[in-house]
Structure 1
Amino acid sequence: MTDIVVFGEDFGGLPSSTQHIVKRLAANHRILWVNSIGLRQPKLDSKDIQRALNKLTRVFHNVGSHKPTLDSETNPNIHIINLLTIPAPSSALARKVAAKMMKHQLNKQLQALGFDKPVFWTSLPTAADLCAEMNPRGLIYYCGDDFSALAGVDHDTVAKHERTLVNAADVIFTASDKLATQFPSGKTVTLPHGVDFSLFSEPAPKAEDFPNNGRKVLGFYGSLSEWLDYDLIAQVADQAPDWDLVFIGPNEFSDNPLPQRSNIYYLGPRAHHTLPRYSQHWDASWLPFVDNAQIKACNPLKLLEYLATGTSVISTPFPALMPYKHMLHIVQNVEDVCASLAHLIPPPANSKQYVQQQSWEARANQVEKLVRTL
């Protein structure tokens, strides 16, 4: 049984594709999950300061106990740790110091767990130097975003780390065909997102805070960040007053107010397993994205989750939609959105069967076959 060390975001919350896959791999592998080591240097604002304090608390808990945290909710084979480091180091000296710091801490955890020559999986380019220091059995880079266009990262710094990582990686997985074109074809494999089909397709009770105004509901869940088209959202709210617009997810803006209308509801973040209590009960799901480089390279997790509910889906266009375009309402502007709302057509009858085949189990099996070759 090959052990796997994973560098990803902080474990928990809304799960990433890496979390979904790793939870399935944990049936046959021991996993050491390293919480985020950062994609940018922290700012001196309340949000980053609080996050840093929380991370320091968890780091010193690890150091004091010498034991990783178990993810008992999913699988006792998943162990979670935090490493003290310099977030997104840019200079050669800072990169070297950060790698040495993390190597010392990580070796202690590997020894405590009895991991021997594990495979490393990283979805963060900033783990490149540490991976080089550790000499793993094999190195997998999972690229889920175009980091050169991703909001909230130090682009130049991350690009340098990514070049190092790409050269060292044995296998590169990408979430979309668009991303795959950025990497060497001989070791790059497109690994589209999967879906927890049973969670989103099996009937769930309506959430207690679901709007109940006698109006139809157009819903979205995910981060409220720069990649949403807030002008379009405001226009739809104004031109479709007989619809409520519901948004679930964290507000990533500190100084950019979200559109305020009597028929727009911001419900805040919700646990992933509770999302069907909303998405199964609104009348249409939507993806109101802006047209930028990040969105052109993205493959949003929520697309298959939306389709698994059998609810109509409205989306602005981007390349990853193409395999599903016959199942969607693709819109360019507010007139298109309002026309779709007036004549909602659910996905074709066979779409659920197709979506069911795109399970996370199927994606994990694809990864499993490659892990065995490393």
Structure 2
Amino acid sequence: MAKDLIVFGEDWGGLPSSTQHLIRQVMLKADRKVIWINSIGLRKPRFSRKDLGRLWQKITASSTAVDHAQSDDLLLPDRQKFQVINPKTIPVPEGRFQRQLAAQLLVWQIKPVMRRMGIKHPILWTSLPTAVDVAGRLGESALVYYCCDDFSALTGVDHQVVRQRECQLAQQAELILAASASLYQKFPPLKTQLISHGVDYTLFATPCNRASDLPDDNRPIAGYYGSISDWLDFALLEQVIQSLPDWHFVFIGEQHVDCSSLTKYPNVHFLGRRAHHQLPSYVQHWTASLLPFVDNAQIRACNPLKLREYLAAGKPIVSTCFPALKEYQDHISQVETPPQMVTALNDARHHTIPSHARSAVAAESWQSRAELLSTYLEAL
């Protein structure tokens, strides 16, 4: 019988993460109950409007949030077997007393839900190193660490604290899952498995209608979706935008940094956040998909979900260089300078991604990733 799961991840909702995709699929594959713990954070809140607003939202949210789970793109088949908890705890506690108190607060909130759902001896899964203090307190049968990011290079993280927690977690975990080859190399090979990201191929490859707010004046469009953060190469983008005034440049996602260097151009459009299921109506109808990242440790360790989604959609991809592209390098225009990106975009007006490249990612569905994951979980 498949073991139930307690999962520490990001907030359930919004654009689905790899953790959300995988957990949903392992639920579909086997009869499991899941308690999902919304983010307990990777840094202490700062005295800013954004952080204080998020802290207030956390404090005032109900302890359980089934409606929140139901509003997401990834609807679950049996909501009686899936529960979301909005935890009230101390963000990134420091010192022995704070850590014990924060862990006990989480246990007090989780155990009643476990009793109500009839969950005993679950697998404890965490995508956040800061959840390590809960390990051993919930009667779990095994501890799994799913590592998708190089937290030592991630912006907005208390690096020293998170690095220490991750080392402790790597020692305690029975199984470590790494989302990229560079992350895999960080951990003991005897208990580490590589699980690259998958793709919802059907969603992105099935033709759909054009989004009503996508520019539609027969001019070419270069598009990007995802978090708009400091890992985007704004200097590169600005020079390319200046060189291609006859192109539209469309950015979809939540803005976390100042984008005024780009918004001053009339051919640049920031459309805001869109639901995951809406993204094909954009990417299928623009001319080229962009991955315009800076070169840093975080990007060198990343394995972006959008890479395989872009491939499934069939539009040419123009990207700066980073290791995760290697598997698909024959189907991606890799650039390092503004003139190279300008040339690649102009070439994209006359090309599409070959059908055999799209077929390759069709075999990399989240279902296939979950089948592999299930074999690892069943061995615990």
What is the aligned counterpart of 2:291 among 287, 309, 325? Answer: 287
1:145 maps to 149
* SS, match of residue 262 in structure 2: coil
Whole-Å Cα distance in 1 between the matches of residues 299 and 238 of structure 2?
20
1:69 maps to 66
1:55 aligns with 2:42: no
Q: Which moved more, 1:159-168 or 1:132-141?
A: 132-141
1:306 maps to 310
Root mean square deviation, CA, Å: 1.3
1:201 aligns with 2:201: no
Q: Which moved more, 1:47-56 or 1:2-11?
A: 47-56
Whole-Å Cα distance in 2 between the matches of residues 240 and 150 of structure 1?
32
* SS, match of residue 103 in structure 1: helix
| Matched residue type, 2:45 | P
Matches within 5 A, 1:154-233: 154-233=158-237
* SS, match of residue 303 in structure 2: coil
* SS, match of residue 289 in structure 2: strand
- Report how far residue 95 of structure 1 moved: 1.1
| Matched residue type, 1:13 | G
Whole-Å Cα distance in 1 between the matches of residues 65 and 301 of structure 2?
35
* SS, match of residue 260 in structure 2: coil
1:340 maps to 344
Q: Which moved more, 1:67-76 or 1:211-220?
A: 67-76
Whole-Å Cα distance in 1 between the matches of residues 134 and 154 of structure 2?
23
**How many residue pairs are counted as aligned between the two chains?**
367
- Report how far residue 346 of structure 1 moved: 2.4
Deviation string, structure 1 residues 168-218 (Cα, Å, up to 9, x no partner): 111111110011111111111111000000000001111111112331000
| Matched residue type, 1:74 | L
Whole-Å Cα distance in 2 between the matches of residues 312 and 216 of structure 1?
12
Whole-Å Cα distance in 2 between the matches of residues 227 and 68 of structure 1?
32
Runs of 4+ displaced beyond 4 Å: none
2:105 maps to 101
Tell me the TM-score normalised to structure 2 length: 0.94
What is the aligned counterpart of 1:356 among 362, 366, 370? Answer: 362
- Report how far residue 106 of structure 1 moved: 1.2
Relative distance call for 1:192 and 1:55 in structure 2 (3 A) is same
Structure 1's unaligned 5+ residue stretches are: none
Deviation string, structure 1 residues 234-274 (Cα, Å, up to 9, x no partner): 11110011111000000012x56342211111001101110
Whole-Å Cα distance in 2 between the matches of residues 373 and 283 of structure 1?
45
Tell me the TM-score normalised to structure 1 length: 0.95
1:37 aligns with 2:40: yes
2:335 maps to 331
2:27 maps to 26
Whole-Å Cα distance in 2 between the matches of residues 322 and 78 of structure 1?
37
* SS, match of residue 136 in structure 2: helix
1:10 maps to 11
Confirm or deny: 8 A CA contact 1:68 1:109 kept in the other structure.
no
Relative distance call for 1:188 and 1:143 in structure 2 (3 A) is same
Confirm or deny: 8 A CA contact 1:200 1:308 kept in the other structure.
yes
- Report how far residue 315 of structure 1 moved: 0.5
- Report how far residue 135 of structure 1 moved: 4.1
Confirm or deny: 8 A CA contact 1:26 1:78 kept in the other structure.
no
* SS, match of residue 249 in structure 2: strand
- Report how far residue 92 of structure 1 moved: 2.2
| Matched residue type, 2:83 | H
Relative distance call for 1:275 and 1:318 in structure 2 (3 A) is same
1:370 aligns with 2:376: yes
Identity in percent = 43
Relative distance call for 1:199 and 1:256 in structure 2 (3 A) is closer
* SS, match of residue 228 in structure 1: coil
Whole-Å Cα distance in 2 between the matches of residues 83 and 334 of structure 1?
45
Deviation string, structure 1 residues 7-61 (Cα, Å, up to 9, x no partner): 0000010111000011111122111101001111111211111111221222xx2
Deviation string, structure 1 residues 127-164 (Cα, Å, up to 9, x no partner): 00112333411111000000000011110111111111
